[in-house]
Chain A
Amino acid sequence: SFYYMKGSCSPLNITPLYALSGLLLTDSVVFSVTSCVTVVLLQCSEQYFFLILDSFNDLYTSYVIFCILLMSVVILVISIFNVEFYAVVPSIPCSRLALIGKIIHPQQVIHSVAHAVMGMLVAWCAAVMTKGKFQFLAVPCTPSESLDDAVPQMCLNEHHLFFLLSGAFMGYSYSLLYLINNMNYLPFPVIQQYKYLRFRRSLPLLVKHTCVESLYFVRNFCVTYYFFGYIPKVWISTTMDLHIDSKLHPLDTLTGLLDLSLFYHAWLCGVFLLITWYIVFLCFALYNTTSDPTFAEETDQCLPKILNSNPPLIIKFLALQDLMLLSQYSPVRRQEVFSLSQPGGHPHNWTAISRECLSLLSDLTQRLIAQQEAAAANGRAKQPAGELKVTPQTPGMSNIAPRASMSSLVKSSLMPLKTSPGSDVGSPFSSPALSCKMGILDVNSPWHGSVQSSQVTRRGPKLWTSGSGRDSSTALEAVQPRVIYTWLQNKQQQNALISSQHPEASIQAVFSDAQMHIWALEGLSHLVAASFTEDQFGVVQTTLPAILNTLLTLQEVVDRHFKLPHVSSKPPRISGSLVDTSYKTLRFALRASLKTALYRITTVFGEHLNAVQVSTEHKKRLQQFLEYKE
């Protein structure tokens, strides 16, 4: 159905979406390139200070210009990799096997190789600009005492080689850390700030982090070089026909590696490399997750359209973030949401927005119910023995009130779900005794071989968003890893350690895109609360029953989900780290914002909510909210 708003956004005009995403990405690339060139120039200016003291060397200046150009190329390549690999939903490997599969994935191999090559180029630039003993790969050998050798031979400068290899190693380590820490995941910030302020406020932490990380990388590289340094040495000297200088100490010995100046230069090179790459990453992350006020004006009229179509995931995220902001801060835009179309008088904007938000939330409800049923079925397949081990992590856990009729209500309000044959879904949730039994699932035991485990682990590959973030349907890419996955699993059926599911990771995987739902909840509840005073045509009132129904159902399902093992325990928090791990605790944020959304609606409407048509069960729960007893 076509609908037009003020300042029309015709449904056939799809270019704004891609132009917008392109604009965001080019913006960030340009910004990061210019900032890194500035950093590089500052580095060079330090070199220039010493150059003034030396004699002016034409060759050296051309070297410097070439290095700057090379650095820009490196930064451009890194930016392109950031663009290709980013995701707004983290891909969480649910078992060690999945993690290994992720590492040997071809895309990751390309990423690592490219970064290693880039690292080598950066190290070469640094070596060239440092001058001294690092500058050239081939140097004349130290002349021998005997007068037999009249022709000076060229020897391999091991220091230069060490530098290049350390650069390659650091590039590879950066790529590995990028994968393990889910750095391709762009977290959205807790509070809105201007991009420049966010950048400035992150700089001190960034500098401290890179200094420490560079230290670890150099240490690891020294160990690697000690054991394997002879391989590249021999290979280079044979291919380039260079001799190994026997007069100098070889570097792959303890005495060779204990050279402080070498360590210092390698560390400095590492700091330079990591700072430039992290600044590029930071600029990219900041640009793509901060909503610009000007962005809001451009997409103002297209917001419902974006939500209803199927855009790239980041556009959908930004649209929902925009919805959240407009619902809180923009009375003018809220009026537009509550407006009626001309001449028909239909509330198209509100219908589109509320329908999309409610479908998002219902989808999450279904997903959670499916996982709970899988866990329940698996729990009954095993023979639980021993004493009950229920650890109340959250307050109120001791008040497990038997809600026998709740499960039937949940089922009736959603589409009928497929259940495995022979399992009776209603029973685990009707008696407290059985729900406590679920708490003693032995999660360390192997899950391989049983029907239930493959049902659960099969969900794993679907969540892999590795690859271009533009493609929201990863079905095609998921097939290949799944084949490898099942093959490996069949091969190693006895090895329980590798194939066992990591419980915390699988819990995080279910809630990996919860940020969308959190914004949908906030946006929807703020709009409903504002409609109490601002809605002139009563467009919101008619949808109130559906909204309350969805929210209350979701809240019930989430509360029940938190009674499953491990869900309510918080992963340890590492403060002061550059890497954002907020995806690990998204489920807590979802639960809190769901409750706040419900309270927001009940606080504003108060006793008027008693006139809204909802089921008796939901009426009772609404009364609890009105009395602040939830």
Chain B
Amino acid sequence: LIVNSSPPKLTSEDMIAAFSQAVDWAGCTIRAFAWHPHTSKFAVALLDDSIRVYNSNSATIPSLKHRLQRNVAAMAWKPLCASILAVACQSCVLVWHLDPTSLSTRPSSGCAQVLSYPGHSPVTSLAWAPSGEVLLSASPVNTAMLVWDVSTENCVQLQWFGGGGVTYLAWSPDGSKVLAAAPSAVFRVWEAQMWTCERWPTIKGRCQTGCWSPDGSRLLFTVLGASVIYSLSFSEYRGEMQGQVGGSKTASIVADLSETTFETLYGEERIGGEIHSMVWDPTGERLAVIIRGKKEVLQTVIAVFRTRNSPVFELLPCGFLRGECGAQPQLIAFHPCFKKGALLTVCWSTGKISHIPFFFMSAHVPCTSSSPSPVIASTSVCE
């Protein structure tokens, strides 16, 4: 008796859901989120394939729709620009050129530039260079990472052999290095001057998420299925090391977030599990992590850590964030230039978006921005 069984083919939606930074990309209302790097403006991608742009200085909420804008996996605003938004779609990358002073609620499809490349779909991750010159796009089925010059629509393919495509991209804030995670148990760190890379095999599984310190000297990353945070340090970028990434020999474990029992005022709580996504604030002082508990046994919570990168690296637990009853955290992001400390934005599974401030004095000023900070709304915070 011969049973002919082929492995089930992953559809594009399955792929995006598996590799997205959102906890429940397929079922939740909010699919992607992106803060503008200089102003208090953010874009939200919704389940109905539309994108809404909210601006604290304006009551108009433009809604962006395009026939090619389906299954949005990620979005990124162009740095050093008023309002250009890159959207990772099913079959292409859409770059919206919005008019910052327009009061229109439905910008026309003509404002969107289509960047497509054969075989590069679905696009699951995008990263702009901090100097705003090039855009990187990644797809899990394409072994080439594309470097786009958006204005001329030219792209350079950076190709390698083995390891599958690229699922997640993260560019260091100083512009020197790029993390490219693959669907297999390996990730690459590219240096952005001469575009050479270092290959890092992981033992247990693929790299799930990663984030950089503000000066690009440290990479924190997690591996799928594990509850630990790894740290990889890089020699400080001085500009004279062309063609060298400069990573250290091994990564070290800096935090273990497996299940533990905590004594709280409300009784015993079991918190812990796999790490789904991680973000580091631009001052380098707060780290937020979404911990995915086992379904129906543990809730999904956000853990916040106090961090410091110099003179030594320090990671101290700060507290946990939980939403209203029945609300699971979906996406997290820090505001790129909050002057009074750090502002964490959380998108919940109920469709609500809340902003949680952390007030502290920091030695690093993230950026100069003339727009005032937005009005803060907060949910319960347990310390």
Contact = CB atoms under 8 A, between A and B. Distances in A.
A589 B147 CA distance: 15
B80 A395 contact: no
A433 B174 CA distance: 47
Interface stretch (B180-188, B224-232, B235-243, B313-321): B235-243
Given A570-B153, A604-B368, A627-B370, A332 B80 contact: no
B196 A194 contact: yes
B246 to A, nearest CB: 14
A629 B100 contact: yes
Contact of B159 (A201, A396, A603): A201
B195 A191 contact: yes
Given A191-B147, A582-B152, A329 B81 contact: no
B100 A576 contact: no
A575 B117 contact: yes
B110 interface: yes
A629 B101 contact: yes
Contact of B151 (A395, A589, A603): A589
Contacts of A462: none
A595 B157 CA distance: 26
Given A193-B194, A626-B370, A596 B132 contact: yes
A630 B196 contact: no
B65 interface: no
A599 interface: yes
Interface string A147-190: 00000000000000000000000000000000000000000011
A48 interface: no
Nearest to A200: B159
Contacts of B156: 189-191, 193
Interface of A: 189-194, 197, 201, 293, 328-332, 392-396, 399, 522, 526, 570, 573, 575-576, 582, 585-586, 588-589, 591-593, 595-596, 599-600, 603-607, 626-630
Contacts of B157: 201
B193 A329 contact: yes
Contacts of A332: 239-240
B226 to A, nearest CB: 34
Given A190-B149, A592-B151, A603-B367, A394 B240 contact: no
B39 A193 contact: no
Contacts of A190: 134, 147, 149, 154-156
B195 A399 contact: no
A589 B149 contact: yes
B98 interface: yes
Given A189-B156, A589-B151, A627-B371, A395 B107 contact: yes
Given A582-B154, A585-B152, A194 B110 contact: no
Contact of A600 (B80, B100, B154): B80
A591 B97 CA distance: 13
A396 B99 contact: yes
Interface residues of B, number: 50
Nearest to B132: A596
Nearest to B148: A190
A589 B81 CA distance: 14
Contacts, number: 118
A395 B98 contact: yes
A603 B38 contact: yes
A364 to B, nearest CB: 17
Chain A at the B interface: mostly helix, strand, loop or mixed? helix
A603 B130 CA distance: 12
Interface string B124-162: 000000011110000000000001011111111111000
Given A197-B196, A330-B239, A600-B80, A630 B151 contact: no
B47 interface: no
Contacts of B46: none
A191 B178 CA distance: 14
Given A190-B147, A399-B101, A630-B82, A603 B240 contact: no
Contact of A628 (B38, B132, B153, B196): B38
A329 B239 contact: yes
B311 interface: no
Contacts of B242: 293, 329
Q: Closest 6 interchain pairs by CB?
A: A606-B368, A592-B151, A585-B152, A599-B80, A588-B151, A395-B111
B107 A194 contact: no
A194 B243 CA distance: 8
Given A603-B367, A628-B100, A596 B80 contact: yes
B39 A628 contact: yes
Nearest to A189: B156
A395 B110 contact: yes
Nearest to B57: A627
Contact of A192 (B107, B110, B195): B195
B116 to A, nearest CB: 8
25 contacts: A191-B134, A201-B158, A201-B159, A293-B242, A328-B175, A329-B193, A331-B239, A392-B110, A395-B110, A570-B153, A575-B155, A576-B118, A585-B152, A589-B149, A591-B151, A593-B133, A596-B131, A600-B80, A600-B131, A604-B368, A606-B368, A628-B38, A628-B82, A630-B82, A630-B100
B82 A393 contact: no
Given A570-B153, A575-B117, A628-B82, A399 B102 contact: yes
Q: Which of A396, A586, A592, A628 has the most chain B CB atoms closer than 10 A to its own CB?
A: A628
B62 to A, nearest CB: 11
B153 A585 contact: yes
A591 B131 CA distance: 16
Nearest to A526: B131
B111 A592 contact: no
B302 to A, nearest CB: 30
A192 B193 contact: yes
B41 to A, nearest CB: 8
Contacts of A329: 193, 239, 242
Contacts of B101: 399, 629
Interface string B16-46: 0000000000000000000010110000000
Contacts of A592: 150-151
Contacts of A394: 97
B370 A606 contact: yes
A588 B83 CA distance: 17
Nearest to A296: B242
Interface in B45-90: 80-83
A605 B97 CA distance: 25
Interface in B163-218: 175, 193-196
A599 B370 contact: no
A613 B212 CA distance: 39
Contacts of B369: 606
B196 to A, nearest CB: 7
Nearest to B158: A201
Contacts of B193: 192, 329
A350 to B, nearest CB: 19
Nearest to B115: A573
Contacts of B118: 575-576
B80 A603 contact: yes
- Report which residue of A190, A293, A331, A392 has the largest number of chain B beta carbons within 10 angstroms of its beta carbon: A190
A393 B108 CA distance: 11
Nearest to A573: B153
Contacts of B159: 201
A399 B99 contact: yes
B97 to A, nearest CB: 5
A626 B153 CA distance: 28
Contacts of A627: 370-371
Contacts of B102: 395-396, 399
A485 B152 CA distance: 33
Given A395-B111, A588-B151, A626-B370, 20 more contacts: A190-B149, A194-B194, A395-B98, A395-B110, A399-B102, A575-B118, A575-B155, A586-B152, A592-B150, A593-B133, A596-B131, A599-B81, A599-B132, A600-B80, A600-B132, A606-B369, A606-B370, A628-B83, A628-B100, A630-B82
Contacts of B238: 331
A591 B157 CA distance: 24
